[in-house]
Amino acid sequence: MRHQKKTIKLGRTAEHRKALLANQICSLIEHQRIKTTLAKARAVRPLAERMVTLGKNGSIHARRTALATLRQKNAVKKLFDDIAPKSAERNGGYTRIVKLGYRKSDSARMAFIEWVDMAEVVEEKATEKKKRKKKPAEPEAEQIEPERVEPKEQEPAEKEEKPAGEPAPPEEAKPKKRRWFGRKSSE
């Protein structure tokens, strides 16, 4: 029986699992939201919440404990400076798991894990990106039309220069260069 064996093993060795979870938490700290499988999100949640609790404490011992788990100085700095102060009034429940459905390739259940207090910042960034994609599409279509007009004006000038000097040989259709797998034996 598995009484009091709460660890979600994820089919990995202990060292691999610790490294995976540390990287997931660092990505969550950096990006405020990550998309992962539901099993990994459920495994990351208790550790992420423990790190925020350490961040709220703010002591040097708490920083060293968080650094021992996360192994990235910049993630620990952002955790203690940005994320933990925003969750100061909260007594737990710093993360949220949003189920997304099934992944096409292997039908794994997917989910977002995100900070509860950071949800507003993530949504604003998503709307800004959509607006940027639509604006550059219109000027590109306008630039294509003037480029087509200019080469036509230059071609007659070149034709006038050639007949004055020497008669131009008739242009022959050049055969397309074929790759090695398409060459004929006679070539």
The residue among 70 and 174 whose pLDDT is bigger is 70
Quote the pLDDT of residue 120. Answer: 64
Using DSSP's 3-state secondary structure scheme, residue 32 falls into coil
Has residue 143 been placed in a domain?
Answer: no
Has residue 55 been placed in a domain?
Answer: yes
Rounded to whole angstroms, the Cα distance separating 17 from 31 reads 21
Has residue 88 been placed in a domain?
Answer: yes
Provide the CATH number for the domain around residue 22: 3.90.1030.10
57: left (phi over 0), alpha (psi -120 to 50) or beta: alpha
Burial of 137 (0-12, 13-18, 19+ CB in 10 A): exposed
Quote the pLDDT of residue 185. Answer: 60
Has residue 161 been placed in a domain?
Answer: no
Quote the pLDDT of residue 139. Answer: 54
Quote the pLDDT of residue 137. Answer: 54
Has residue 100 been placed in a domain?
Answer: yes
Has residue 159 been placed in a domain?
Answer: no
Quote the pLDDT of residue 128. Answer: 61
Q: For the whole model, what pTM was predicted?
A: 0.63
Q: Please report how the helices 60-70 and 38-57 are oriented relative to each other, as an axis angle in degrees rounded to 10.
A: 160
Closest CA to 46 of 112, 103, 95: 95
The β-bridge partners of 97 are: 113
* Host domain of residue 48: 14-121
- Examine the pLDDT at 79 and tell me if it is beyond 60: yes
Quote the pLDDT of residue 179. Answer: 65
Domain count, the chain: 1
Render the burial of 74-89: b for 16+ CB within 10 Å, e for the rest.
Answer: ebbebbbeebbebbee
- Examine the pLDDT at 74 and tell me if it is beyond 90: yes
- Can you tell me the mean pLDDT for 74-101? 95
Q: How confident is the model at residue 35 (pLDDT cuts 50, 70, 90)?
A: very high
> Is residue 32 a contact partner of residue 118, using CB atoms and an 8 Å limit?
yes
Residues 17-33 have pLDDT tens digits of 999 999 999 999 999 99
Quote the DSSP letter at residue 174: P
Rounded to whole angstroms, the Cα distance separating 71 from 137 reads 43
Written as one letter, the residue type at 5 is K
Has residue 182 been placed in a domain?
Answer: no
Using DSSP's 3-state secondary structure scheme, residue 95 falls into strand
Longest dimension (CA), the chain: 98
Rounded to whole angstroms, the Cα distance separating 85 from 118 reads 12
The β-bridge partners of 178 are: none
Residues 121-174 have pLDDT tens digits of 555 566 665 555 555 555 554 555 555 545 555 555 555 555 556 666 667 777
Has residue 22 been placed in a domain?
Answer: yes
